[in-house]
Structure 1
Amino acid sequence: MIVDENSNPFELGCATEVFGLRRPELGFRPYEFGLCAARPRTLMRDGFFTLTGVAGLALADAADTVIVPNRPDTWVARRAAVLDAVRRAHERGARLIGFCSGAFTLAEAGVLDGRRATAHWQWADEFRSRFPAVRLEPDVLFVDDGDILTSAGSAAALDLGLHVVRRDFGVEVAASVSRRLVFAAHRDGGQRQFVERPVPEVRDESLGPLLAWAKERLDGPLSVASLAARAGVSQATLHRRFRAQLGTTPLAWLTGERVAYACRLIERGEARLDVVARRSGLGTAANLRTRMRSQTGLSPSEYRGRFGPGRAGRDRSQL
């Protein structure tokens, strides 16, 4: 991860938590993580503290994944040395990640032209005016455009970080990391950045108990109607609550949970697609293939080859 003058400590902390900590419970170390900067002393956001003792930018030249710096003063040009490091990383095929205003760093380096990206909603107009060649998607949590990934502000850095872990090592490893973070294992990148959370006037309308109940019954005939019946509300009311609290629909949430469970079954060694489809509630092997391809970009067989027993990346580490 590159840090630069006035970088945000929060996203630095998110990256360290997701990629930098040892994970003895996994039995292997998913990543080798390091910090680097253009100068020996880097003053962090608003002068909160000065970062010293980190490597120079040469560290980024050897990394498989480079997280670029983000900062609140988006109008201030990034250091030329930092932009050059980003360009070199892109040219040699490294994966690039921009948290929050990190999209400005990527765009300023010229690697986002013609590409999809997102950033914090409050900077959408500025970003569009400065970088019209970038296909900005301002109302989502994160964008995975292959070798360049960007996230919206604050907690969306954790969403994107866990998405990267899931992409690299599968659902089981990502779920383990999320449990350590006490954070949702998966929020789809297409969810809205700003989710209204109305305060209940009389009774608790949290979806938590309903979601927990549904997750225990994914192999059953769950439907939006049955979820609404369990919650004791109409389907229209259930849709409103899902939109307000999760930024998605009941059906999309249910399908996502079933695909995630199917992935876990495959990772644990279940090779029979009809069994995976039945136990995850996806019904048929054909529907399983369609849904997995849509949500993970992989067919069941491709997912097994990448994340099946003994193949979940346990023999490799990434910087």
Structure 2
Amino acid sequence: MPHTVSDMTTIALAATDGMLHFELATVCEVFVRDPSGQADPWYDVVVCGSGPVRVGRFWVEPDDGLERLARADTVIVPAVEDVDADVPPDLLDAVRTAHRAGARMVSLCTGAFVLAAAGVFDGLRATTHWAHTDVLAARYPRVEVDPDVLYVDNGDVLASAGKAAAIDLCLHLIRRDHGSTVANAVARRLVVPPHRAGGQAQFVTTPVPARDDHPLVNLFPWAMERLDRPLTVEDLARQANMSSRHLARHFRSVTGTTPLQWLSTQRIRRAQELLENTDNSIDAIAEAAGMGTATTLRRHFHRTVGVPPDAYRRTFRSS
């Protein structure tokens, strides 16, 4: 049964050893105070744990025990530092109890490993920081891990990727509960973009060879300087002085993708840079990024990033 706004007033923040302070602070900053003065009721944030917990180099004393978390309206699990560490059984029990009672369950960054261990994500979409998505998917095969999004919303079970995406998801929750006006007021207080769509891609840098003697070490900068040109796999292979098949094997080992997919990704990255840092028209950016036309750029950009180029520019170049 869908929750109403009044159901969502108590937010229990799950505190456990190894929790990261950024996400802890994010929840407190976003949910403790309503700067708009228009939301009634507002949230009651309670840090719940079985005792003092280590947060980075600091210690945090919870407001209440895990039995309070089990009765909460919304449970938020912040990031944990070590995704290989065992989740305390009492925390798992409290999370499962809250979930069975109908609480809204939210993970921030690697907090997804806690909800996944409790079975909350079984049969549902989830995400986490891009550096840990493969581990999450391998460890919990019943979870549909999406490595390319900022956050996912399954209704009463939600998850964010790393750091800034945690803020995005928290603002998304406020927007769901209280509307855009209140969410925008919170965003203004935090001096962050008021809305980034959850389906927007995590902005991950494509790997390049780590060794100076790698056969492709000179090819990558050569190609980056020529992104505005119609490069082919044959052009890349000729520059690298190897066959196209040999080139594909090296590309796969270094980047995890094909030469053409790598080129496409770099062209999108170039378009992102130009959208962020210039006033160039979409047509000019399409040409500079090797996309040819604005129509082609819009199609590939939206498919890869999750938002149109114009929306991306508005988000990353707010006045």
Q: Fold conserved (TM > 0.5)? A: yes
- Tell me if the contact between 1:22 and 1:29 (Cα under 8 Å) persists in the aligned partners: no
After TM superposition, the structure 1 = structure 2 runs for residues 101-250 of structure 1, keeping only pairs within 5 Å, are: 101-194=110-203, 205-207=274-276, 228=282, 235=294, 239=298, 248-250=307-309
Q: Secondary structure at the match of 2:70?
A: helix
In the other structure, the counterpart of 2:50 is 38
2:86 to 77, 82, 102: 77
CA distance in 2, matches of 1:208, 1:65: 39
Larger radius of gyration between Structure 1 and Structure 2: 2
Normalising to structure 1: TM-score of the pair?
A: 0.64
Determine the structure 2 residue equivalent to 1:2.
14
CA distance in 2, matches of 1:30, 1:230: 47
Residue 102 of structure 1 deviates from its aligned partner by: 0.9
Contact 1:195 1:244 survives alignment (8 Å):
no
Is this contact kept in 2: 1:198–1:244, CA < 8 A?
no
Matched, 1:55 2:74: no
**Residues 209-230 of structure 1: CA distance to partner in whole angstroms, max 9, x if unpaired?**
869xxxxxxxxxxxxxxx6379
CA contact (8 A) 2:39 2:182 kept: no
**1:244: how far off?**
12
Whole-angstrom distance in 2 between the partners of 1:27 and 1:83: 32
Distance change (3 Å), C-alpha of 1:236 and 1:121:
same
Please tell me the residue identity of whatever aligns with 1:139: D
Consecutive unaligned residues of structure 2, counting only runs of 5 or more, are: 1-12, 206-267, 288-292
Give me the identity figure in percent.
40
Q: 3-state SS of the aligned residue for 1:96? A: strand
1:232 deviation in Å?
10
Does the C-alpha gap of structure 1 residues 165 and 23 become closer, same or farther in structure 2, counting only changes over 3 Å?
Answer: same
Q: Measure the CA separation in 2 of the matches of 1:24 and 1:81.
A: 37
Displacement of 1:175 after TM fit? 0.9
Please tell me whether the aligned partners of residues 34 and 186 of structure 2 are also in contact (alpha carbons under 8 angstroms): no
> Is this contact kept in 1: 2:78–2:109, CA < 8 A?
no
TM-score, reference length from structure 2: 0.64
Partner of 1:264: none
Q: Deviations over 1:239-279 (max 9, x none)?
A: 4996799663237x39x99xxxxxxxxxxxxxxxxxxxxxx
Deviation readout 1:62-82 (Å, 9 max, x if unpaired)? 321000243121111111110
CA shift in 2, pair 1:194/1:250, >3 Å: closer
Instruction: Give 2:25's aligned residue.
Output: 13
In structure 2, the residue matched to 1:89 is 98
State the alpha-carbon separation in 1 of the partners of residues 86 and 286 from structure 2: 54
Letter in 1 for 2:128: A
Q: Taking structure 1 as reference, are residues 239 and 127 closer, same or farther at Cα in structure 2, changes over 3 Å only? A: same
Taking the aligned partners of 2:34 and 2:116, their CA distance within structure 1 comes to 32
Partners of 1:68 and 1:86 within 8 A in 2: no
Deviation at 1:54, TM superposition (A): 2.3
Structure 1 unaligned residues grouped into runs of 5+:
212-226, 258-319
Separation in 2, partners of 1:31, 1:160:
16
8 A contact 1:121–1:138 mirrored in 2:
yes
The number of equivalent residue pairs is: 234
When the two chains are superposed, the root-mean-square deviation of aligned CA atoms in Å is 3.3
SS in 2 for 1:150: strand
Q: Which moved more, 1:158-167 or 1:52-61?
A: 52-61
Deviation at 1:4, TM superposition (A): 0.2
Are 1:70 and 1:105, in contact at CA under 8 Å, matched by a contact in 2? Answer: no
1:109 is displaced (CA, Å) by 0.6
Alignment-derived partner of residue 107 in structure 2: 98
Whether the 8 Å contact between 1:151 and 1:160 is mirrored in structure 2 is yes
Structure 1 counterpart of 2:92, one-letter code:
L
Q: Which has the higher contact order (CA 8 A, sep 6+)?
A: 1
User: Aligned partner of 1:14: which letter?
Assistant: T
Superposed CA deviations along residues 147-199 of structure 1, whole A, max 9, x for unmatched, are 10000011100010011111111111111111111111111111111256968
Query: Match of 1:133, as an amino acid?
Result: R
Q: Name the stretch that deviates more: 233-242 or 14-23.
A: 233-242
Q: Distance in 2 between matches of 1:120 and 1:127?
A: 10
